[in-house]
């Protein structure tokens, strides 16, 4: 059969059996290598175009509510979008019953074979894609409206339209690394977290449209970039590849519960020590150029687990989440390895939290494409010290309010709170996601409400300042400090007496912080509230540094610069201790990574900037990470007199 049109108007073309080289031997992305010979042993029929709205709605009429969403795909003959992998698979099962012939999603190998159509270049058109076929192939924070009408570009040599850049197309396979040997009818990995998507889409840079490029997403994800096309024919019977080898952070992890020693009553301080170990020149899956935005947790077995993003550029689709483990019996952090990644999606924002009962939580943003304006919110849980994780989309809507910030907490009522930036700029505030049932369901009280006016004495639905830290006070209210949205030139303070539904704003005593800086606000197990921040917004402007007057419980004062810790014993009313987070007189230079750069420490000067995250272990030790460095100290050290200059 050379061609076939089914009962709902889908036209199929015959793809003959054959061989090709799958992937890229040079150029492209790391996950396209190694290039390897693949045999497609049987012919199959493939739809000449992606599934359209009219065709999909024969199966699910309720999907009409997505027509025109984000200004895209309103017409009958435009490619359907906002379709989960499971939805696409159910459509294929419905179509199989209707047609009396097996219909399915293509394997990843079948898709690339059909796309190439005997060609070997970056695109079936050669080394480049004609600009006449572009559909806003540019970076933009939000998608630009563009026609998704199918069949408007010339077909490839085998009669398939729109294989480059109309919509991404779901494939049947679980995503995983290639193996360096020939394959026949490959079907991907036996299991995974991400399903493969191919072809690139509108509103994406041209490099993501190449024949060999691999994308992917959780199978329950849906947005304006992904649709699908159908294959008619029996699925390959090939055995899938096994699970990939465990990454280092999940390898050799001791199970069981650690017995923590009693807290020290004497001062203790260690660090800074580098916790990010990525070889220079790394270009995937980890990147040596830019590592930043960490989170940190103690596992039940006594290990520390740190995660952060690793990328070339912060808005890039290559951004991945890396991890390292400081094992309980080790003094050095493991080399980094990849922790969580949806292929070719920006992954901005991570948070780790331990519920104290053996369950670890990982929250992460998940973009539709590049940037971090349209993030879905992912929650993962582990019951085996972070070796394996279960993944859920707790807010599948790709939107603002989902850029994750470390500092999840559980209130005395048992509610879980996860703060997330409400915007993707430097001002605009922080939202809170709240679960009242142990993480099963979540609500964002500020969703759909207008942006607040963050003036002194004003009130609104969000926290003032991005990257906010949140604590619960003894009277049950929530207090938050944030970056940006300054009040009277000071860092803003937000207070909620109704569990995050409304907030009132006032200035703190502290200076605002800026780019490359993120604060910590947490309650210590001993009772005081700990606040860690920076004395100057722009520490690179050395001629205009202001510093702060540091002080200890003895009343000793000294001007200090850089990262400081403040303690409050009266629920944030006063902060009698303010000291630099520094080991004292070292004079040693350190590389702070991220946006921090090189700096030197002494008794008055601490790290000048960095994204901070902290946790406290049952032995009373406070574990703090900045963009690249790890510190460890206790409450006795915070109370100790300032070191001599």
Q: What is the CATH number of the domain that holds 345?
A: 2.120.10.10
Residue 463's pLDDT band, with cuts at 50, 70 and 90, is: very high
Give the separation between CA 272 and CA 285, rounded to whole angstroms.
Answer: 27
Please give the full DSSP string across 105-134, using - where no structure is assigned. PPPHHHHHHHHHTT--SSBTTBSS--GGG-
Query: Looking at the domain assignment, is residue 160 inside a domain?
Result: yes
> Do residues 46 and 153 share a domain?
yes
Q: Which domain holds residue 302?
A: 274-399
pTM of the model: 0.97
Q: How far is CA 151 from CA 135, 166, 197, 584, in A?
A: 13, 10, 20, 68
* Residue 568: predicted pLDDT: 98
Q: What is the mean pLDDT of residues 544-555?
A: 91
Query: Looking at the domain assignment, is residue 492 inside a domain?
Result: no
> Do residues 177 and 306 share a domain?
no
> Do residues 174 and 86 share a domain?
yes
Query: Looking at the domain assignment, is residue 249 inside a domain?
Result: no
Residue 541's pLDDT band, with cuts at 50, 70 and 90, is: confident
* Residue 192: predicted pLDDT: 96
Residue 1 has pLDDT above 70, yes or no: no
Any idea what the CATH number is for the domain that residue 213 is in?
A: 3.90.1580.10
Mean pLDDT score across all residues of the chain: 96
User: Cis peptide leading into 58, omega within 30 of 0?
Assistant: no
Residue 586 has pLDDT above 80, yes or no: no
Residue 24's pLDDT band, with cuts at 50, 70 and 90, is: very high
502-521 pLDDT, tens digit each = 999 999 999 999 999 999 99
Domain stops at, among 399, 424, 455: 399
114-171 pLDDT, tens digit each = 999 999 999 999 999 999 999 999 998 999 999 999 999 999 999 999 999 999 999 9
Domain stops at, among 331, 366, 399: 399
In the three-class reduction of DSSP (H, G, I as helix; E, B as strand; rest coil), residue 136 is classed as coil
> Do residues 119 and 15 share a domain?
yes
Q: Which residue has the tokens 């920006």?
A: 346
Domain stops at, among 232, 264, 294: 232
* Residue 645: predicted pLDDT: 74
Query: Looking at the domain assignment, is residue 43 inside a domain?
Result: yes
* Bridge partner residues of 560 (DSSP): 548
* Residue 584: predicted pLDDT: 84
> Do residues 181 and 324 share a domain?
no
Work out how many domains the chain is built from and give that number.
Answer: 2
Query: Looking at the domain assignment, is residue 88 inside a domain?
Result: yes
Give the separation between CA 477 and CA 479, rounded to whole angstroms.
Answer: 7
Query: Looking at the domain assignment, is residue 496 inside a domain?
Result: no
Query: Looking at the domain assignment, is residue 565 inside a domain?
Result: no
> Do residues 227 and 111 share a domain?
yes
> Do residues 305 and 198 share a domain?
no
Q: What is the mean pLDDT of residues 438-458?
A: 95
The DSSP 8-state label assigned to residue 555 in this structure reads -
* Bridge partner residues of 514 (DSSP): none
68-87 pLDDT, tens digit each = 999 999 999 999 999 999 99
Query: Looking at the domain assignment, is residue 81 inside a domain?
Result: yes
> Do residues 313 and 187 share a domain?
no
> Do residues 20 and 125 share a domain?
yes
Q: What is the mean pLDDT of residues 252-281?
A: 96
Provide the 10 A C-beta neighbour count for residue 271. Answer: 20
* Residue 36: predicted pLDDT: 98
Residue 404's pLDDT band, with cuts at 50, 70 and 90, is: very high
> Do residues 224 and 292 share a domain?
no
User: Cis peptide leading into 285, omega within 30 of 0?
Assistant: yes
209-224 pLDDT, tens digit each = 999 999 999 999 999 9
Residue 644's pLDDT band, with cuts at 50, 70 and 90, is: confident
Give the separation between CA 627 and CA 467, rounded to whole angstroms.
Answer: 14
**Do 530 and 600 form a contact (C-beta atoms < 8 A)?**
no
> Do residues 213 and 305 share a domain?
no
Name the residue with higher pLDDT: 39 or 543.
39
User: Cis peptide leading into 34, omega within 30 of 0?
Assistant: yes
* Residue 588: predicted pLDDT: 83
> Do residues 221 and 283 share a domain?
no
């Amino acid at each position: 059969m050379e061609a076939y049109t089914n009962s709902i108007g889908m036209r199929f073309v015959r793809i003959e059996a054959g061989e090709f080289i799958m992937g890229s031997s040079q150029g492209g992305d790391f996950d396209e290598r190694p290039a390897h010979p693949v045999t497609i042993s049987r012919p199959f029929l493939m739809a000449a175009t992606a599934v359209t709205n009219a065709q999909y709605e024969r199966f699910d009429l309720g999907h009409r509510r997505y027509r025109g969403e984000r200004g895209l795909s309103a017409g009958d003959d435009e490619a359907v979008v906002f379709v989960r992998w499971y939805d696409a698979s159910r459509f294929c099962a419905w179509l199989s019953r209707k047609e009396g012939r097996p219909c399915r999603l293509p394997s990843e190998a079948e898709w690339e074979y059909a796309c190439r159509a005997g060609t070997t270049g970056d695109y079936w058109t050669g080394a480049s894609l004609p600009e006449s076929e572009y559909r806003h192939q540019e970076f933009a924070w939000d998608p630009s409206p563009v026609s998704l009408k199918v069949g408007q570009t010339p077909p490839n040599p085998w009669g398939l339209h729109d294989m480059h850049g109309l919509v991404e197309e779901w494939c049947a396979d679980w995503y995983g690394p290639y193996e360096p040997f020939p394959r026949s009818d490959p079907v991907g990995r036996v299991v995974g977290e991400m399903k493969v998507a191919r072809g690139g889409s509108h509103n994406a840079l041209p490099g993501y449209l190449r024949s060999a490029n691999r994308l992917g997403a959780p199978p329950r994800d849906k947005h304006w970039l992904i649709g699908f096309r159908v294959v008619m024919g029996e699925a390959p019977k090939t055995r899938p590849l096994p699970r990939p080898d465990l990454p280092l952070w999940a390898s050799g992890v001791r199970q069981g519960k650690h017995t923590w020693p009693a807290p020290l009553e004497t001062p203790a301080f260690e660090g800074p020590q580098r916790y990010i170990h990525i070889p220079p020149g790394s270009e995937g899956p980890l990147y040596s150029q830019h590592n930043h935005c960490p989170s940190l947790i103690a596992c039940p077995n006594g290990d520390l687990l740190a995660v952060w993003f690793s990328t070339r550029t912060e808005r890039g689709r290559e951004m991945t989440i890396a991890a390292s483990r400081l094992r309980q019996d080790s003094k050095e952090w493991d080399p980094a390895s990849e922790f969580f990644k949806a292929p070719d999606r920006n992954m901005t924002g991570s948070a780790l939290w331990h519920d104290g009962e053996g369950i670890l939580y990982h929250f992460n943003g998940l973009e539709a494409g590049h940037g971090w304006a349209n993030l879905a919110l992912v929650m993962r849980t582990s019951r085996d010290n972070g070796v394996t994780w279960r993944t859920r989309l707790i807010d599948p809507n790709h939107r603002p309010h989902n850029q994750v910030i470390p500092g999840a907490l559980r209130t005395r009522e048992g509610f879980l709170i996860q703060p997330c930036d409400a915007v993707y700029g430097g001002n605009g505030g922080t939202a809170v996601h709240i679960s009242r049932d142990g993480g099963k369901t979540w609500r964002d009280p500020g969703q759909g409400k207008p942006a607040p006016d963050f003036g002194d004495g004003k009130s609104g639905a969000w926290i003032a300042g991005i990257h906010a830290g949140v604590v619960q006070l003894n009277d049950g209210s929530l207090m938050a400090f944030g970056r940006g949205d300054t009040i009277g030139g000071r860092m803003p303070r937000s207070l909620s007496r109704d569990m995050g539904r409304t907030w009132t704003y006032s200035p703190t005593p502290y200076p605002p912080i800026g780019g490359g800086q993120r604060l910590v606000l947490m309650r210590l197990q001993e009772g005081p509230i700990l606040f860690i921040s920076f004395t100057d917004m722009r520490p690179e402007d050395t001629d205009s540094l202001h510093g702060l007057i540091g002080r200890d419980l003895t009343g000793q004062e000294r001007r200090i610069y850089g990262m400081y810790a403040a303690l409050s014993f009266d629920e944030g009313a006063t902060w009698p201790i303010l000291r630099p987070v520094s080991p004292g007189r070292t004079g040693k230079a350190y590389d702070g990574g991220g946006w921090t750069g090189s700096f030197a420490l002494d008794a008055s000067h601490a790290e000048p900037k960095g994204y901070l995250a902290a946790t406290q272990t049952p032995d009373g030790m406070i574990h703090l990470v900045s963009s690249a460095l790890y510190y460890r100290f206790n409450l006795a050290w915070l109370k100790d007199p300032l070191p001599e200059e």
